Chains A and B, each alone.
Chain A
Amino acid sequence: MSLFEQLEQIGQQARQAVERADDPQQLAQAQSAVLGRKGSLTQLLRALGTLDPSQRVEVGKVANQLKQELTELFAARRQALQSAVDRRRQQETAAYDPTTPAQRGQIGSVHPVTAVQWEIEDVFTRLGFTVEAGPEMDSEYYNFDALNTPATHPARDIQDTFWLSNGMLLRTQTSAVQVRAMEKFGPPLRVVVPGRCFRSETVDASHSNTFHQLEGLVVDYDISIANLIATMKLLLREVIGRDLPVRLRPGYFPFVEPGFELDMACQICGGKGCRTCKNTGWIEMLPCGMVHPNVLRAGNVDPREYTGFAFGLGLTRLAMMKYGISDIRTLTSPDLRGLLRPELLYGPPVVSPDDRQKG
């Protein structure tokens, strides 16, 4: 076979191989069989050196043309095959639907009251308060006597307090920790005490015998009503997320003097008056006041030197407001349907008319 015939054959086979190749790998093999280091055309070109010059020029010219032609042919085909592959991959990827719900996780969550409690704790720790705790089973002394609540005060009646067989009681208020905190730290004092409280009340949708409060207490030189108002405004700002009008009016609690009720502008009606605020435009938010000198004395703090303010925030009520819980009994029930966000309980919803109706 002449060299020209051989070139003709190489060209023929190569063109067929290009035709036949279905994927980039096959094409690469075919290309290397012709144009690779040990490829047929490469070897032939290498052999040109052994020919006499006249022949070499002529054959060389044809062979180089062929090399040029095949190189382009392979490149074109490779590109075509590659885009076919890309298309196929693309189709495969398109089958993945990133809009289906991702795998459902574990249904973990803290109790709504705990969530609100932490939020308030964090507000106060940012302000340099410390967080204390106290016992739920407490003595008459800390719950009443030390709080200037004389034995004759109506709050001492058996109807309000759960008394225990050992003469102790279940604390009726987190204020029971006021004197403990003063004894532990002494002034200057900035403390909040979240905790569960108990009162012997008839349970219904808005009353429970078990509820959470958060007590706040500040004792230092020259603590004033002006300080109390500013701190309460700041607290509400942090809780609600914006500045709200507040008002202070007289309120009576034996362990403060003067005592106040702090009202917040009703958010439902914007202060114009609605059912929630009983048409007053105000929502009763927290009882507070200047610490009674007898309470300071009980905590070994000299009332001639120090003054203080205290407040009690209803965490349970706050949680109900925040999460739209209308029945307080939900919070002492173990039924998770009332305690968890629905998607935590049931996984991401496909459709949920139930939740739409609610909110």
Chain B
Amino acid sequence: MLLSLNWLRDFVDLPDELDPHRLAERLTMVTCEVEGVERVRVDADGLVVAEVLTCEPIAGTRDLCCVELDAGAKRLTTISAAPDLAVGKKLIYAPPGATLPQIGKVGRTEVAGRQSEGMIVPGEAVGIEQAAHHAIFLPPSTPAGGPINVGQLDDWIVEIDNKTITHRPDLWGHYGLAREIAAFAGATLKPYTEFISPIERLQDASLPEIPIVIDDADKCPRYTGLMMDGLAPQPSPLLMQARLSHVGIRPIDLIVDLTNYIMAEIGQPMHAFDGEKVACIEVAVTHPGDRFTTLDGVDRVMPAGALMIQSGRRNVALAGIMGGADSEVTARTTRVLLESANFDAPTIRRCAAALGHRTEASARFEKALDPNNTVLSIARFVKLAEQELPDLKLASRLSDAYPKPLPPVSIDVDLGFVNRLMGRDVEASRVEQILQALAFEVARAGEGKLRVQVPSFRATRDVTIEADVIEEVARFVGYENIEPQLPAVRLRRFEPNALHRIERRSLEVLCRSEGFAEIQTFLWDDESWLAALGCDPGQRIGVRNPPAAGTDKLRRTLLPGLLAAVERNRHYLDDFSLLELGSVFLPKGIEGCKQETEFRHLGLACVLRGGRKTEDRCVDRVRQAIENWARHALNRPVEFALPDDGPRFVWEHPHKRAVVMVSQRCVGRVTAVPEALKARIHEHLGRWSIALAELRLDGLLDLPAVEVKLRPVPAYPQVQLDFSVLGATERSFAQIRQLLETFEHPLLRRVTFLDSYQGSALPQGKRSLTLRAWIGHGQRTLTDQDRRHFEQAFTQFLAQNDLPLRS
């Protein structure tokens, strides 16, 4: 929102030498954020009021007119492209010798073969908001030839960040900000009653009352109207046009400008109906499917439960948002019904959102406006209109339907609590002074207690509890006047968050020791990528308002995202490892979920240049990483088992695939990416081998604690014996390990795995496995005989179990 400093000065006396930047800083610190301060200065001189005497289009040109002007003493002729020129209109004219910003001195020139003296000043030349080339028209009463006081075009504009005043309906106009400024500047705020026509005058009982019916008082607590005659459509005075322009509103004509002017002053939107067409008012609630054409010519389907202004049960305006095309004021209008109403904020907001049509009016009604502004704004309108239109007559009394008065808000404030919450002491008198400057009524209510009456413009939603009142005190005391002090803490135990702990440790191990680079991708699947992979992840939770087409499902697995990342990064990297730690979402009924469930997954991808040749190494690398992850992040070993189902997803390999077991729980799967999928992603991706793993961390939170015990150094030396055996290839190492569990020998300390080999040197269907047995004795050094006995027993055991020594 834009503020005019000159306008603020109407309401509060500010020193002439006031630095607007300093004012902006104070506003930012006490009230709301100022986004910028800008000087508006019009370097013009010698401008006069001129009346159009004749206006002839010049044949052969598209839009030029030859205009004869009365500029006081002399008649002058100028050639102009300004539209809407008509005989009798008053406008701003720069005669020869005048100066204009950017243009400089205006003189006599030749245009389209004719002599042109001076120029009709276009709005943009002096900062009046108009379409390009449009003249600035002035009220008909303005005497021709009179000088233009360009001083009224100079101003300082302060831009307020709208987001910082969404909770303050009173700040959506100059008067509310003037109140804040007066309060922190110690200046006096002029009462708004000085600026309005006396309300008693408007309540003239001799005039008829406008019939007003409100169907739902909750949605429309107050509706005020006034009928006026003698409103001729005419331009507004230059000062009003300048101020509206400076705050970003384009001047149109007096009636519209007045409603906008008052909206910019106290934040109250108004609407002017053609009084010939609208003579009575009903405030109705819409039904589903109702249609209405707003004055911008758009036919709209109304949401149910919105407010519609009707006259004789005929729709005439979309309450709080926009008027209707049929009832708007036109050039022929002389009788006007002025509406100033108070609508329920959520009703207006929902309707504007449903229609996708937010207007200046709806943006203000959304803030929960002060119902007392309906009467004030109409009284202000009459005051300003009468200054311009001496023939204005009231055609009705002030008609005010107020079925649901705003309940008074009174708050008890404990001064001790004020001091405790602020962390500094403030005198009771200072608290009173601050609140009174903001129009709160304050009464002492016993020792250390105040009873505070909230003014109506703060009582609609903004100030409801003690803390709200304390904020008023604190911001005027100034946060910079509160001495920082660290809190005194009471020690206590917090049960650590197991999931967070595992997550952090997992990343520490994998990224720091195992060489994984962490990525973070979006929470929703990319359907086009899934289609490219040929992957159907099945039922998923949907996003009702997805960020883009084809991203309307939440991911169930991290691996498609990791595959996309692999394809992206392999263009400039040979060997690399990626991981993502993030949430995945399962719908109800999938994997036994009783409801929609979020899981934390850890996805791993290892990539090695070398295609099929490096594939085993690649899977090993992921498995090693998982082993280290389990050891360091979970403090326990991991085992790999053969899955008892087939590949679940396109990226799972028919053979090179395992489930990851931790403490007998399956926590995830690891797989090589099959050639076919790589080829499908990109013809060159086959030059790399890729291994993937996905682990679910949620299943690991309640693992029993493991105690780590270290062994004493053996008192007598141990001996290592290596055994290379031949076994059937389909026999998994996991099975062999189970078998070895059953071998018992008093000297055996442990068996470790050295390597596994498969190749043409071996018989078909066989592989070689090298195991290392560690033997030792607790009380003595081993003898050759010990060693021979063990070798014999172990070899025999292996041979009996179809694992003969490789000769």
Q: List residues of chain A with CB under 8 Å of any chain B CB.
A: 105-111, 113-114, 118, 121, 128, 130-133, 135-137, 151-152, 154, 157-159, 162-166, 168, 170, 184-185, 188, 190-191, 196, 198, 200, 203, 209-210, 218, 220, 222-227, 229-231, 233-234, 247-252, 257-261, 278, 280, 290, 292-293, 307, 331-332, 334-337, 339-340, 344-345
Q: Which A residues lie within 8 Å of B573 (CB)?
A: 107, 336, 345
Whether the Cβ atoms of A210 and B522 lie closer than 8 Å is yes
Per DSSP, are chain A's interface residues mostly helix, strand or loop, or mixed?
mixed
The answer for the CA separation of A166 and B492 in the assembled complex, in Å, is 38
Q: Which A residues lie within 8 Å of B423 (CB)?
A: 224-227
Which chain A residue shows the least CB distance to B492?
A188
Whether the Cβ atoms of B421 and A290 lie closer than 8 Å is yes
Per DSSP, are chain B's interface residues mostly helix, strand or loop, or mixed?
mixed
Whether the Cβ atoms of A226 and B547 lie closer than 8 Å is no
B100 within 8 A of A: no
How many residues of chain B have a CB within 8 Å of chain A?
91
B384 to chain A, nearest CB (A): 32
> Which residues in chain B, 359-410, are within 8 Å of chain A measured between CB atoms?
366
Q: Which B residues lie within 8 Å of A203 (CB)?
A: 547
Q: Which A residues lie within 8 Å of B515 (CB)?
A: 105-108
The verdict on A293 contacting B467 (CB below 8 Å), with A132-B500, A225-B423, A250-B30 known, is yes
* Besides the known contacts A130-B497, A164-B596, A196-B520, 9 further A-B residue pairs in the complex with CB atoms under 8 A apart: A109-B511, A154-B366, A158-B545, A163-B545, A164-B544, A196-B523, A223-B487, A292-B467, A334-B521
The verdict on A224 contacting B585 (CB below 8 Å), with A111-B518, A166-B541, A257-B465 known, is no
Whether the Cβ atoms of A307 and B420 lie closer than 8 Å is yes
Whether the Cβ atoms of B353 and A157 lie closer than 8 Å is yes
Which chain A residue shows the least CB distance to B486?
A230
Which chain B residue shows the least CB distance to A234?
B486
The verdict on A200 contacting B545 (CB below 8 Å), with A107-B517, A258-B475 known, is yes
Q: Which A residues lie within 8 Å of B554 (CB)?
A: 137, 164
The verdict on A108 contacting B516 (CB below 8 Å), with A157-B353, A163-B545, A257-B467 known, is yes
The answer for the CA separation of A161 and B265 in the assembled complex, in Å, is 34
B496 within 8 A of A: yes
Whether the Cβ atoms of A165 and B541 lie closer than 8 Å is yes
B660 within 8 A of A: no
Whether the Cβ atoms of B512 and A108 lie closer than 8 Å is yes
Contact of B569 among A166, A198, A336 (CB under 8 A): A336
Which chain B residue shows the least CB distance to A161?
B545
> Which residues in chain B, 441-471, are within 8 Å of chain A measured between CB atoms?
465, 467-468, 470-471
Whether the Cβ atoms of A133 and B499 lie closer than 8 Å is yes
The answer for the CA separation of A340 and B569 in the assembled complex, in Å, is 12
Whether the Cβ atoms of B585 and A137 lie closer than 8 Å is yes
The answer for the CA separation of A40 and B682 in the assembled complex, in Å, is 83
- Which residue, of A108, A191, A229, A280, has the highest number of chain B Cβ atoms within 10 A? A108
The answer for the CA separation of A166 and B593 in the assembled complex, in Å, is 14
B490 within 8 A of A: yes
The answer for the CA separation of A223 and B420 in the assembled complex, in Å, is 8
The verdict on A258 contacting B470 (CB below 8 Å), with A163-B545, A166-B596, A226-B483 known, is yes
Number of cross-chain contacts by CB at 8 Å? 229
B346 within 8 A of A: yes
Q: Which B residues lie within 8 Å of A250 (CB)?
A: 30-32, 164, 471, 475
Q: Which B residues lie within 8 Å of A261 (CB)?
A: 33
B628 to chain A, nearest CB (A): 12
The answer for the CA separation of A334 and B588 in the assembled complex, in Å, is 30
B510 within 8 A of A: yes
The verdict on A334 contacting B596 (CB below 8 Å), with A225-B421, A250-B475 known, is no
Contact of A113 among B424, B520, B546 (CB under 8 A): B520
The answer for the CA separation of A224 and B482 in the assembled complex, in Å, is 10
Q: Which A residues lie within 8 Å of B495 (CB)?
A: 184-185
Which chain A residue shows the least CB distance to B582?
A196
Which chain B residue shows the least CB distance to A201?
B547
Whether the Cβ atoms of A334 and B543 lie closer than 8 Å is no
Whether the Cβ atoms of B29 and A247 lie closer than 8 Å is yes
A284 to chain B, nearest CB (A): 9
Whether the Cβ atoms of B596 and A168 lie closer than 8 Å is yes
B111 within 8 A of A: no
Whether the Cβ atoms of B479 and A260 lie closer than 8 Å is yes
Among B62-70, B120-128, B560-568, B633-641, the one that faces the other chain is B560-568
The verdict on A231 contacting B585 (CB below 8 Å), with A110-B507, A210-B523, A257-B467 known, is no
Whether the Cβ atoms of B511 and A331 lie closer than 8 Å is no
Q: Which B residues lie within 8 Å of A292 (CB)?
A: 467
Whether the Cβ atoms of B345 and A152 lie closer than 8 Å is yes
Q: Which A residues lie within 8 Å of B474 (CB)?
A: 225, 258
Whether the Cβ atoms of A106 and B489 lie closer than 8 Å is no
Against A, the Cβ 8 Å flags (1 = close, 0 = not) of B314-336 are 00000000000000000000000
B765 within 8 A of A: no
Q: Which A residues lie within 8 Å of B350 (CB)?
A: 152
Q: Which B residues lie within 8 Å of A249 (CB)?
A: 28-30, 33, 479
The answer for the CA separation of A106 and B621 in the assembled complex, in Å, is 12
The answer for the CA separation of A257 and B545 in the assembled complex, in Å, is 31
Contact of B500 among A133, A224, A231, A290 (CB under 8 A): A133
Whether the Cβ atoms of B517 and A109 lie closer than 8 Å is yes
Which chain A residue shows the least CB distance to B569?
A336
B485 within 8 A of A: yes
Q: Which B residues lie within 8 Å of A163 (CB)?
A: 543-545
Whether the Cβ atoms of B577 and A224 lie closer than 8 Å is no
The verdict on A230 contacting B484 (CB below 8 Å), with A128-B489, A190-B489, A250-B30 known, is yes
The verdict on A188 contacting B424 (CB below 8 Å), with A111-B518, A152-B346, A332-B521 known, is no
Q: Which B residues lie within 8 Å of A184 (CB)?
A: 495
18 contacts between A and B (CB under 8 A): A108-B511, A108-B515, A111-B518, A114-B518, A135-B583, A137-B554, A151-B346, A152-B345, A159-B353, A162-B544, A162-B546, A163-B543, A165-B541, A170-B523, A170-B543, A222-B420, A249-B29, A257-B465
